[in-house]
Structure 1
Amino acid sequence: MPRFSRFPLCALATGLCFGTHLHSARAQARISLGPRVGVNVASAKFNYSGTVPYTFTTESVTRLETGVVANINYRHFSWQPALLYAQKGFVLTGTKKPSIVGSSRPARAELTRRLNYLTLPVNVAYTQKASGEGWQVFGGGYVGLLLGGKRTVHNQYEYATGTYFYDSEQPIRPGAEAVEADAFYAQRWDAGLQAGVGYRCGAALLQVTYSAGLTNADVLSALQEPQSYYNRTVQAAFAYLLPVGKQVPKQRINN
């Protein structure tokens, strides 16, 4: 056989082998899709570099998460993309030391940020069983689009005539910079890493996840001291996964 004709035949044979393997892999993949609902225990890593002598502490807020998740399982590995409405935020308490009576700055300020995101998390899981059931560990990342939020303030002032309180509430708007001086903004996009553990039994999937934002979510306005914060969330979620398309019988999958 002429040498120039061997390469096309070898390439064709290689392509047929690869196509057969790919078809076999697709045939063994188990795809499922379903609703997901969970609870977010959300907080933030807060950094302050202002000139006013405040001492800050952060506390978590409990919020909701809901959406849809897919599970594409091949042997002991699963690819898990999701589309979620995720509520995040935190409580920030600042105490001024020393407290100056009559100062225009509050002696104690409590600020609650509630942020609502449309998030796209993608995880890769290693499962105990090749069917995708049993215990699993997973990791991945997420991208979030801020839909809006709310900022609630509870300030305490110390004067010679007594202690006074001031409460206010403003919306948080998505944006890369503060357009209006008296408005409050947060970055439109958030992104980070996440990891966790889970357990699947039949269609039921329970997961616990820790996610850490890598982008500064704050946008400074003229009313704020220099600061930054990064979203931190512990999530406990339940999903009910329904099969999509033709599934491989479990007895054909090696454990």
Structure 2
Amino acid sequence: MLDVKNLYAGYGIVPVIEDVTLSVKAGEILLIGGENGAGKSTLMGAIAGFNKPTAGEVLLEGQPLQGLAPEKIAKSGLRLVLDGHRVFPELSVYDNLRMGAAARRGDRTGLSAAIDEIYEVFPILKEKHRAYARDLSGGQQQMLALGQAFVAQPKVLLCDEPSMGLAQALLPPILSFLRRWAETGTAVVIVEQHLQVTAPYADRAMIIERGTVKFECPAAELENRLKTMETPEGAA
């Protein structure tokens, strides 16, 4: 579904990511971790068209995306949910969800069904469907941002730091939603700091260090791989 090959990107003349290659299949969740400043968000922005790669390829179902404007990439079926609960604060919850449906104009039945499903998964959004987004809590705004993306029904979802600003207890319901969503055939990439909480919901994991891929493994093996990295050479 999504293939990234030997990607280089940064800001101006400052390189951030170098020679990053990854792939995500339909129905799969790839977890990307790494320390702050490792280049994870830069990678997501480069894939989604918000910062231009300096080399490499980004392919969606075999079609190149690099060089396209972010809105064209979104219309092609790739959606980026940024960290920090990016919603339209002066619009209601319901109108925010409708804004997510710009790519499916004319499909009123599908839009209504998608919004109903969001309300089923996140009942608090249904309860507050007339409230302004600015009046929601941080966790509720993150749910709403994910709801916007779900309504658009992208082929690939990039989710950058869904736990940003949230109590950690709020993360499992969001991850459960992403797992359920992936199982409908969407390819999902999650960038996250809380690896132990997120890994059980993912299929594969990748760790980025200083802009390059340190290693990739099945998500179930991530904890042991990280422990191995922390063990001093020669220790028993």
TM-score, normalising length from structure 1? 0.20
Q: Which has the larger radius of gyration?
A: 1
Which protein has greater RCO, CA pairs closer than 8 Å, 6+ apart?
2
The structure whose residues are more often helix, as a share, is: 2
